[in-house]
Amino acid sequence: MHIRVAACILLTLAGCARFRVQELKPTRVFAVPLLSAFPHLAKGSDEFTRPIQIAGITSSPAILGNRIFIPDPTAGMVRIFKRNADTADSVVADKLEKGSEATLIRVRAGIPGRAVSDDDENVFIVLHEGPAPDEKNEPEPPPERRTTDRFNANAFMDTPARIVHIKEDQLAGIFGREGGKEGPAFERILRLHAIEGALYVFHSVGGARQLSVYQNEKRIKQFENFTIPENDALKYFTDIEDMFPAGQSVIVSVVLRNKNTFAPEARRVYSWDGHTANLIYTIDEDADQFIAARPDGGFTVANSEDGNRMLLKIYSPSGEYLNNRLIVMPDFRNTWREVTVDAAGRVFSNRIYKGSFEVYEWK
């Protein structure tokens, strides 16, 4: 009798642990004056400077110690700020802006996109091909026809790109999908992860998606040709929405879509070693989205409960629902931008607020 009661108590406690919610608190780690990070926002539309809307800024900053690397696709450069500095200490670009006193880390002209860093002083920046922001491929329109959305940075985010490697404030290399400076460009880069000197690139090749692993700008491994069971493959279109490194394997998030309407009918999470795909979880709630793998091989699912709240659901490597973490964004929701979880499990988000570009870590 006592054993049975004890077992019931243990089961109840396990259930409570599963649905326990730990509220994370935001800590501001960087605040950079908005017009220092994105000077074009100060210029009026009557000047043909190709400014863009704040909501259109493509910015995925990389943090390395007391410095932050902020891509500015409109200017075609990445500005590097030290903590608490109001102006950029150095820039990654093909040339300095007029009057700038920053140190130049010279790279080829292009449109910078995502940027990531690791714990070994490496920073990797996606550099999209296409016209540089100051190139004029067509005549300037008369003043009455000039608009504020002339240059749309988002339009370049799906174009071919190479990756720039910065180490110790110097250009360490630039490479394409086969590695090496002269290798072909990536057709489309979807996500980057930098872990202990290795760079993981989730990208498209001829419409198929794969995860490539690089060290010293050389490709050392690929996770490609992911397949689901044949009966599902016949019924659905397989849309691989994410591949996230997890030790020697990969966590793959897949949307199974109706072949006729392309509407999503199921979401699944697999563990994949490059050969065998093991289903570990089926996402049942439409509002749940895979956001990241975890260092232990588990994964995190995000659910935006309402305008200012995001619930992070934590799962084990076997797909067991462990617990929850809650993010409550203070003040105005539209000042907050993306929420990301990195390969170490750290949660970040950035914000445009009171004239600053801010980055927060949630703990």
For 215-236, what is the mean pLDDT?
Answer: 87
- Residue 269 covered by a domain: no
Q: How confident is the model over 126-132, as a mean pLDDT?
A: 76
Q: Is residue 58 part of a domain?
A: yes
For residues 196, 202, 203, 205, the Cα torsion angle rounded to the nearest 10 degrees is 100
Mean pLDDT of 281-305: 90
Model confidence pLDDT, tens digit, residues 144-154:
444 444 455 56
Q: Which residue has the higher pLDDT, 98 or 68?
A: 68
pLDDT, position 155: 66
The three-class DSSP label of residue 127 is strand
Residue 215 forms part of a structural domain = yes
State residue 228's pLDDT score: 81
Whether residue 283 is contained in a domain is answered as no
Inform me whether the pLDDT recorded for 281 exceeds 90.
yes
Percentage of the chain modeled with pLDDT above 90: 57
104: containing domain: 28-225
List, in order, residues 6 or more apart from 275 with CB less than 8 Å away. none
332 lies in some domain:
no
What's phi and psi for 362, nearest 5 deg?
-100, 125
Question: Does residue 55 carry a pLDDT above 60?
Answer: no
Q: What is the pLDDT of residue 242?
A: 94
**Do residues 29 and 360 lie in contact, with contact meaning Cβ atoms separated by under 8 Å?**
yes
In sequence order, the β-bridge partners of residue 63 are 68
194 occurs within a structural domain: yes
For the chain, how many structural domains are there in total?
1
Pairing of strands 21-24, 321-328: parallel
Any idea what DSSP says for residue 234? H
pLDDT tens, position by position, 63-81: 999 999 999 988 899 999 9
The pLDDT of residue 131 is above 60: no
Tally of CB atoms within 10 A around 34:
19
Residue 358 lies in a domain: no
| 250 found inside a domain | no
